[in-house]
Structure 1
Amino acid sequence: MANVKEGLFEETGIEPPTPLGTRSEIARYHDVDVFGHEEGHDIKYKTLSWQFVACLMIAEIVSNGMLSLPSSLAVVGIIPGVILIAFLGIFATYTSYLLVQFKLRHPDVHNMGDAGYILFGPIGREILAFGTVTFAIFGTGSLLLSGQIALAALSDSKLCLMLYTGIFTIPVLIGSFARTLDNLSWLGLLAAISMLMSGVVGMIGAGVDPSPQRHIDAALSSSFYEAFSSITNPVFAYAGHFMFFVLISEMKRPQDAMKAAYMLQGFATTFYIVFAIVMYVYLGPGVASPALSSLSPKWMKAAYGIAIPNFLIAGALYSHTASKLVFVRIFRKSKHLHSHTLMGWSVWIVLVILANGAAFVLAVGVPIFNYLVGLTASLFAAWYTYGVAGAFWLHDAYHDGDGWRTWARKWPQATLSALTFLAGAFICVAGLYASIKGIVDAYNSGSVPPAFSC
């Protein structure tokens, strides 16, 4: 894997103050970038501005995961819950920075699989690529279920739930067919506005028609399982870093990627805190997950109806990412990547259909799908959002710096990176425990429905 900053590390360490700051550095970046120089190509990928990348990031991350945050406050209390959401937002901003710096130093990294190859060789590439595709497909399935809930709420559940999921899958599938993310950029803006307005309407509805049993607990004691099960909600509400490399690869100016990340994390952290507090304060400890389901019928319908564009577009982004990883893996450096060839379009269409089809089958055919989403999030998102970012810094500091001496000289950053890696490991293990225990408890209680049921 090429390193665009080779030769500069002796002067600046591994964190150059102005990445891609000169024309020669930018030219070298595009020489080895996954999509290369695109002059004369039919399909141009590197067209996104940082503003639209921010919109796509917000559309993908600030989505259905946000709706579980008020229920987390109901389990641990408002003070530790808010502190946790704020801390995780800051932490996610830091790991975003590490991911962006790694991408700028390794332009040919298109996805987590490519990054895994740099860190751990061929095995690392296969594991992280598999995890990305798996998590993206499960994420699509989760959003299909959110769409199912929204459609059922709007129609007073007059149809079979599986039918709602099938109906919702169709526009998600159509949105996934776009070959480049630029074709989804304006939809990303719509999705971001959609979730913002849905949250605002939900908060207004909660304030206008609050729960009569509401009360506020500053802090609550609970078992490790209960506490961590609720903590996973804010942890995975920030779980979108697995898509960052794909997004940055399609930017006109990848050196502006941190602007998009700052906008994302600033908006997400602020909105998460406000939404969680308002919904918890007015709906009380009985607030459901998703929180919109605790609103009175008219407000619930309004909030879910406004959220539908976000669920659709975020689902399309997830399935697009799963398909794009495999597509680039197959056709990297070939004419099919940049030209309108029969082979290229045929493979792309098949991949998109397979990704969405798998998401639909998993969502409606696996009775414990919601638990499996938590399981895959623990296995992969814990690493992609948090843990692996620390490994990125440690790797480049060692190989592009002066080995152990760089770690010793930059010991605060080295320590923080190591702790970041360990944090990812802890979230992974604890999340797996909570998810597996949840599955066991669900089966023991007889609450698991049959497959493909209404």
Structure 2
Amino acid sequence: MSTPPYPDEIKGPAAVESGDDVPQYDGSSIDTIKALVHEDHQHEIKLRTMSWQKAAWLLAGDQVCLAIMAQTWSLSVLGWVPGIITMVAAGILFWITSMTMWKYIMKYPQIKDICDFGYYAFGRNRFAYEFSGFMLLANNILLIGFHILTGAKVLNTLSDHSLCTVVFSVIATLMGIVLSLPRTLRHVSFMSMFSAAFMAVAVLLFLIFAGIEDAPLYGYNGNYPTDGPVRTYAFPLPGTTWVNCMNAVLNITFLWVPQILFPTFIAEMERPQDFPKSLTVLTGISIFLFIVPPAIGFRYLGQYSTAPAFGSLGVDAYKKGSFAFVIVPTLIIGVIYANVSAKYIYFRIMGTSRHAHSNTVIGWGIWCAVMAGIWILGFIFAEVIPSMGDFLSLLGSAFDSFFGFIYFAVAYWHLYRGKLFAGTWRSVMTVVHVFVMAVGLFILGPGFYSAVKAIIDDYSAAT
């Protein structure tokens, strides 16, 4: 067992490149993909086995998540006009950057995760590889911690606080470890079907309950009717701070930027060239779920919206009835992030040894140890997370700035350098990717400041 070399030092099919700087994948790319799939299928544990349909389920299972229920709060801060514009713009940029990412991976089919992507995008830079690895683990483990905390809160709510939150966090952690044992994403995609379905039921029940109850119960400005009758508004209310507005935007951004996982998903597809089909399915689902339910929620909760919106429901039975279904996606999404994280660590430990792809005691022992370590770290972070809204904002600014914008603007430049303005459409897309880079830098700078400031304010208010 040894630390594996960097991507361009790997011998065999994975070292083959797909030609010169052309944006479209060509015959050599397809040959490389076939060689990689053939090599993978010689192993006892086969990874490159997902169809585009299973990949679509995996994508949906990852992105149809509790963060949808934070979007009603974002609308309550921004108002209809800035809120909807931000949601639509985020969706458009998500599609564009995801396609750019896919085209770049088709140029270098040997890319197996976001770390390899960063390595190639920044000129085969080893620092970029290590930085991407650190960011991948930090982002994913923090998100696992968030899902542990959410799972504990769900169990707490359903049980009427019969046990303390820490005990429920331990239960959620143990359940997550057990569910994370499958090694391939093809198996995880099966669980993702149930994850997306349960989250959809939770959202539907919330909308029904919000519509039939007389009034919401709780809002950040006090219980109903402390802040007056429920109302909606086109623009932010007077007194809304820049920090609150920025955090609301970051909440929306976080929901639309899951691309940190996409290279790993693509690497486990049997035909990576079919990824746009999976992406189209995901985009269609996302456009509906990320805009329509939050808008309906804002209509009935108004300024009393919380993150997640379940907290605003006035009838306890309604809150429990809708919130109960969240436990399944909470755990399964944590499993997806754990799987991607564990693979990065596992293959760095195992290198090219036979244990890496075989059903050996050593291989499975190290896999289980790595997975347990990831969930335990997530549990530790779960105990220090302040609030859902501010936490999502922090993740959006610190990580999504790179893995949703900056990395893909750089990749676009590599794909089309020398012909960035070759024709009207290419010129338009070049301008769009310049905007993508500007958005990434803005989120990383002022966005990160506002997220940290909000968390500091939360801690100050709690003491």
- TM-score over 0.5 for the alignment? yes
1:180 equivalent in structure 2: 184
Q: Distance in 2 between matches of 1:293 and 1:75?
A: 16
Deviation at 1:175, TM superposition (A): 1.2
Q: Where do 1:386-425 residues align within 5 Å?
A: 386-398=405-417, 405-409=418-422, 410-425=426-441
Structure 2's unaligned 5+ residue stretches are 1-7, 9-14, 217-228
CA offsets 1:164-189 (integer angstroms, 9 cap, x no match): 11111121111111111111121111
Q: What is residue 351 of structure 1 aligned with on the other side?
A: 370
1:429 aligned residue: 445
- Residue deviations 1:241-276, cap 9 Å, x none? 100011111111111111111211221121111111
Task: Please list, as runs of the form range in 1=range in 2, the aligned pairs for 1:173-252 lying within 5 A after superposition.
Answer: 173-211=177-215, 213-221=229-237, 222-252=240-270
Counterpart of 2:128 in structure 1: which amino acid? Answer: G
Q: 1:380 aligns with which of 396, 399, 413?
A: 399
Structure 1 residues 27 and 93, CA gap change in structure 2 (3 angstroms): same
Which residue of 283, 293, 296 corresponds with 1:275? 293
Computed over aligned residues only, the root mean square deviation of the Cα atoms, in angstroms, reads: 2.0
Q: Which amino acid aligns with 2:433?
A: S
Aligned runs of 1:55-204 on 2, under 5 Å? 55-120=57-122, 121-204=125-208
For the structure 1 residues 367 and 417, does the alpha-carbon distance in structure 2 shift closer, same or farther, using more than 3 Å as the test?
Answer: closer
Q: Deviations over 1:48-71 (max 9, x none)?
A: 111121111121122121111001
**Aligned-partner Cα distance in 2 for 1:118–1:25:** 16
Q: Distance in 2 between matches of 1:64 and 1:430?
A: 25
For 1:123, the aligned partner's letter is: F
Q: Name whichever of 217-226 and 263-272 sits farther off.
A: 217-226
- Aligned-partner Cα distance in 1 for 2:93–2:162: 43
Q: Does the C-alpha gap of structure 1 residues 367 and 132 become closer, same or farther in structure 2, counting only changes over 3 Å? A: closer
Change beyond 3 A, Cα 1:367–1:48: closer
Residues 65-114 of structure 1 show CA distances to partners (whole Å, capped at 9, x for unaligned) of: 11110011111112221221121111111111011111111111111111
Q: CA deviation at 1:25?
A: 4.3
Alpha-carbon separation, structure 1, partners of 2:353 and 2:67: 37
Deviation, structure 1 residue 413: 2.9
Shift of 1:36: 5.7
Distance 1:290 1:367, change over 3 A: closer
Whole-Å Cα distance in 2 between the matches of residues 261 and 333 of structure 1? 31
TM-score for both structures, normalised by structure 1: 0.89
Are the equivalent residues in 1 in contact too, given 2:29–2:108 (CA < 8 A)?
no
Q: Which moved more, 1:189-198 or 1:372-381?
A: 372-381
Alignment deviations for residues 138-188 of structure 1 (CA, whole Å, 9 cap, x no partner): 111111111122111211222111111111112111111111111112111
Counterpart residue number, 2:11: none
SS across alignment from 2:39: coil
2:43 aligned to which of 41, 57, 61? 41
Aligned-pair CA distance for 1:3: 6.2
Q: CA deviation at 1:4?
A: 4.4
Letter in 1 for 2:145: G
Q: Distance in 2 between matches of 1:93 and 1:408?
A: 21
Match 1:336 to one of 331, 336, 355 = 355
For the 8 Å contact 1:111–1:246, the answer to whether it is kept is yes
Residue identity (%): 26
CA contact 1:391–1:418 (8 Å) conserved in 2:
no
Please give the per-residue CA displacement for 1:374-402, whole angstroms capped at 9, x wherever unaligned.
4343121222122211111112333xxxx
Q: Look up the equivalent residue of 2:39 and give its one-letter code.
A: H
Separation of aligned partners in 1, 2:182 and 2:214: 42
CA distance in 1, matches of 2:102, 2:350: 24
> In the alignment, which residue of structure 2 is the partner of 1:15?
23
Q: Which amino acid aligns with 2:23?
A: E
Distance 2:106 2:267 in 1: 10
Task: Report SS of the residue matched to 1:74.
Answer: helix
Residues 363 and 369, structure 1, Cα contact 8 Å, conserved in 2: no
Letter in 2 for 1:439: I
Deviations 1:12-42 (Å, cap 9, x if unpaired)?
xx332xx46x5x64232243x4x76233321
2:282 counterpart residue number: 264
Extract unaligned runs of 5+ from structure 1.
399-404, 449-454
